[in-house]
Amino acid sequence: MRDYILVVDDDPDIRSLVINMLKMMGMEGRKAINGEHALKLIDEHPPKVIVLDLIMPVMDGFLTLTKLQTSQRSRHIPIILMSALSGNENHVKKLPGVIGVMPKSQFSIDDFQLLLTQAGIARQR
C-alpha cells in the first residue's frame, strides 16, 4: 500500500480542495469525514501526515488528537491542523504532534507545502 496523507474534515469542499492540491504536488491524499473514520483508516494503514480539522461532528479534532497521541501506532505521525477558529493558532500549535496550523480563511498552497516540507514529505519549490 502506498504512502498517503490523510485529510480529515467534515466539509466535502475542503476535503476535495486539499486532496486536489496534494495531487498537484504529486502526493496521494485520502479522505475521512470525522475523527472516528480517520482512526479506522489509520489503524488499517497509517499515513505519513494527517491534515485535521478541529470542529467536526461525531468525533472532533481535539478528541482525535488525544486518541492519536495515546496510540503507539499513531503518536509519531505529524499533524497539520486546519480550522475556521481564528486567533487560537498559537495555542493549538503547542498540542502534541501538531507541526503547524492552517486557518481555513487564509489557506495557501505555499504555506501548505511549507508545512509538508517541515513534516519531511515535500520539497520546497
DSSP 39-100: HHHHHHS--SEEEEESS-SSS-HHHHHHHHHT-TTTTTS-EEEEES--S-HHHHTTSTTEEE
pLDDT in tens, 65-102: 999 999 988 999 999 998 776 555 555 556 667 888 88
pLDDT in tens, 47-58: 999 999 988 999
Assign domain 5-118 to a CATH class.
alpha beta
pTM of the model: 0.88
Map out the domains of the chain as residue ranges.
5-118
